[in-house]
């Protein structure tokens, strides 16, 4: 059930991107809410259905996530001066989402199963309903643009020099027209930055250029045809790395109790590690978000990827040491590595 859902979640990212490009975040969010509604309903009534409804139920829940989560990234441009904070909140919400099911497990055990999965998922239908209402009445139809993109668009549409200037013989008139266009263009840019509450547009654009230069690889594949990009080492190595890491991450999350039961030779110790992991996973995601932002904004892509490889190797080593200290160290490193990996590769 977990394997099918995990694979589907990653595969569906492709059509989600296409839908975002052609129809905008509103349509993507509505589709996501409908998929989660179907999944929750199947979970709630699975015990009454004549087939194993948990597998398709989990599948629909998994498919709905990317439609909502990926389309929400554009919200970081709503208020450019707080874009980092907004993106951190979105990423933190993603990482802490697993905590809800931890709370449910605690309630389920505390009530001896009285608060059943049927009751839980019927209540959970509030979530896709809320998302649907917000998408229809509050969210934008088109993605928000960065300040740099808006400024570039204004400069392209309202340039100082027009082709029609060549038809005017009076040079003084041409200069007055160009000066008027320049004043108008700067006024529009000033209104944009003031309206969005952002810093100076030129400074914002320079900041974005600085981040591109820091990356060390910006533009490496620009201008190449798709088949050449796909056959390049950039694509092949990143794809292989992503396949390996997604397999490792999802396998660890799904089988942590089984792994440590075998490794530590004790079911009770494995449960102890598993309980610590349930709390550390959402908590680690929240605490690591600010540091991840600083790392990615101020280091090169090569450095970031090298750091991922070093941490992944360390996790692999800790994962085969049959000691409790190694188990706790492994969990602590894993819960920080997971959001770092997702953010860096994205």
Residue 223 DSSP code:
T
pLDDT category at 59 given cuts 50, 70, 90 is: very high
In this prediction, residue 152 carries a pLDDT of 64
Neighbours of 176 (CB within 10 A): 11
Q: Which domains does the chain show, CATH number per domain? A: 1-144 (1.20.1250), 147-215 (no CATH), 219-346 (no CATH)
pLDDT value at 291 more than 70:
yes
Do 54 and 1 meet the contact criterion of CB atoms below 8 Å apart? yes
Neighbours of 44 (CB within 10 A): 21
The residue-averaged pLDDT of 94-104 equals 80
% of the chain beyond a pLDDT of 70:
76
Cβ-defined contacts of 289-295 (< 8 Å, 24+): 289/88, 289/91, 289/92, 289/95, 289/339, 290/88, 292/91, 292/339, 292/340, 292/343, 292/344, 293/84, 293/87, 293/88, 295/340
| The length of the chain, given as a count of residues | 346
pLDDT value at 339 more than 70:
yes
For 197-235, the pLDDT digits (tens) are: 555 555 555 655 665 666 566 667 777 788 888 888 888
For 104-128, the pLDDT digits (tens) are: 888 998 998 889 888 999 999 999 9
Does residue 134 or residue 227 have the better pLDDT? 134
Does residue 341 or residue 89 have the better pLDDT? 341
In this prediction, residue 333 carries a pLDDT of 93
**Greatest mean pLDDT among 96-105, 170-179, 311-320:** 311-320
């Amino acid at each position: 059930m977990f394997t099918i859902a995990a694979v589907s979640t990653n595969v569906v990212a492709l059509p989600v991107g296409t839908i975002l490009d052609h129809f905008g975040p509103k349509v993507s969010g509505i589709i996501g809410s409908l998929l989660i509604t179907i999944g929750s309903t199947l979970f709630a009534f699975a015990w009454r259905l004549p087939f194993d409804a948990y597998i398709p139920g989990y599948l629909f829940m998994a498919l709905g996530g990317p439609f909502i989560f990926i389309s929400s990234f554009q919200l970081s441009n709503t208020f450019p001066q707080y874009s980092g904070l907004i993106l951190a909140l979105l990423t933190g919400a993603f990482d802490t989402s697993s905590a809800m099911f931890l709370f449910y497990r605690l309630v389920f055990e505390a009530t001896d199963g009285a608060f059943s999965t049927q009751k839980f998922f019927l209540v959970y239908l509030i979530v896709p309903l809320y998302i649907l209402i917000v998408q229809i009445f509050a969210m934008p139809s088109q993605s928000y643009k960065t300040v740099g993109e808006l400024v570039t668009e204004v400069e392209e549409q309202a340039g100082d020099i027009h082709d029609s200037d060549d038809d005017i013989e009076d040079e003084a008139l041409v200069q007055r027209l160009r000066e008027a266009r320049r004043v108008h263009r700067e006024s529009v840019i000033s209104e944009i930055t003031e309206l969005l509450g952002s810093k100076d547009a030129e400074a914002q654009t320079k900041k974005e250029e600085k981040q591109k230069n820091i990356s060390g690889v910006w533009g490496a594949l620009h201008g190449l045809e798709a088949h050449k990009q796909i056959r390049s080492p950039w694509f092949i190595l990143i794809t292989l790395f992503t396949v390996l890491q997604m397999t490792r991450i999802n396998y660890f999350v799904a089988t942590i109790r089984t792994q440590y039961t075998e490794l530590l030779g004790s079911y009770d110790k494995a449960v102890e590690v598993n309980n610590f992991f349930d709390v550390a996973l959402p908590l680690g995601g929240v605490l690591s978000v600010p540091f991840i932002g600083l790392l990615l904004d101020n280091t090169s892509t090569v450095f970031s990827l090298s750091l991922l490889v070093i941490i992944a190797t360390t996790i692999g080593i800790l994962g085969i040491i049959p000691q409790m200290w190694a188990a706790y160290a492994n969990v602590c490193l894993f819960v920080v590595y997971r959001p770092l990996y997702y953010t860096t590769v994205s």
